[in-house]
Structure 1
């Protein structure tokens, strides 16, 4: 993986940019705003499951994991958070983003603990949040059936990583979702919506984050 560059997005929060891939880790319209809207508001707060088991596709900078930990502490809701990443960032790259200082300086130690957590084993970060980081390729691993109540689908865009948005992948994800489970993603492309539907999920288009994408998707396993 090439060395990413730091860029400041429209809401003042930073993201990473991969020049050769011409891809950002978050929306340039607002990295923090996107994560809060797509994954916390539309996903975590919408789910009624408790305790909640989450599977995040694309650990990346750890922003979604950190926001989820903070939300789990606030709501006192126990979360087991699985996340997969093939190309983990270095500690130096992550620290340069300064997410804890922007979001919750008093909880910097939680952000550090998430990134320092050993890979491929469950690590309890707080009384309400346990993380299990998987270093691997989603297209090559198996997932347990009916195990996840919430999916954060945060892979790079379909035109950059088409194999991560295939009907085969979504069928694998659908099989791994528990009844009543939901999936949220920033991508609202028609082909993505149709593939989610073909995998047996009920899909709805929802408004995107303020100042960002017009629409996002939420899919439910009935």
Structure 2
């Protein structure tokens, strides 16, 4: 897959896929979008209710450039609860693309450079503890083909390409699969706020709410397993 490095409005880089006419992140700011949608609306809700040494389980659909994982790892360094982070990617990026993307564009804390490299050097399909607070499992393959533990994940980052670019990822069947994998009271967060997406979530059992979106986008979606 041919990709191009593109700058975004907050100074961070993203990737552009000419064949799909699609960016990996918002052109209004890759980092600000990830922080707003996935960490603030998703992860923080789970950390706020975490108790004792029990880990918070995160499932990410779409590892991509590793940005969401890196920011979650950064947050784990100041979290009382450890984070177990499972992430799924059907088309892992080549190491040459990751180098071209520019790690310095994502790393506000230079101490995270090593962590960024560890994220991408970690083996696929094998869990690894990257720090005492963050364990990573990268799963290579299609979400629909992967068995997921039921009632497990407090937070699901749903970060697939847009519905019109990747329609097989936005079906009621997919959201039923994720509903089964979510822990009771867990949430799913996504940058997408389209009506068809919300209807598919509701049909799969999720309780859906619309939240203010990140810069450049009016709305985003959060759904709950009740």
Q: Same fold (TM over 0.5)?
A: yes
Aligned to 2:64: 60
Counterpart-to-counterpart distance in 2, 1:95 and 1:71: 23
Deviation at 1:182, TM superposition (A): 0.6
In the alignment, is the contact (CA less than 8 A) between 1:34 and 1:212 conserved in 2?
no
Q: Alpha-carbon deviations, 1:50-94, whole Å to 9, x = none? A: 521111000000000000000011123201100010111112211
Deviation at 1:194, TM superposition (A): 1.0
Counterpart-to-counterpart distance in 2, 1:140 and 1:126: 29
Aligned to 2:23: 24
**How many pairs align?**
220
Aligned to 1:45: 44
Aligned to 1:130: 135
Counterpart-to-counterpart distance in 2, 1:132 and 1:214: 33
**Which residue, out of 48, 69, 75, partners 2:79?**
75
Deviation at 1:107, TM superposition (A): 1.3
In the alignment, is the contact (CA less than 8 A) between 1:144 and 1:176 conserved in 2?
yes
In the alignment, is the contact (CA less than 8 A) between 1:72 and 1:79 conserved in 2?
yes
Counterpart-to-counterpart distance in 2, 1:174 and 1:60: 22
Counterpart-to-counterpart distance in 1, 2:111 and 2:129: 19
Task: Give the 3-state SS of the residue equivalent to 1:74 in structure 2.
Answer: coil
Aligned to 2:192: 187
Q: Alpha-carbon deviations, 1:21-48, whole Å to 9, x = none? A: 1111001111111001000111111222
Larger displacement relative to structure 2 (117-126 or 135-144): 135-144
Structure 2 gap ranges (5+):
none
Counterpart-to-counterpart distance in 1, 2:93 and 2:108: 20
Structure 1 residue 141 corresponds to structure 2 residue 140: no
Aligned to 2:13: 14
Deviation at 1:100, TM superposition (A): 4.2
Counterpart-to-counterpart distance in 2, 1:58 and 1:128: 22
Aligned to 1:109: 114
TM-score (norm: length of structure 1): 0.96
Aligned to 1:216: 220
In the alignment, is the contact (CA less than 8 A) between 1:100 and 1:111 conserved in 2?
no
Where do 4+ consecutive residues of structure 1 move more than 4 Å? none
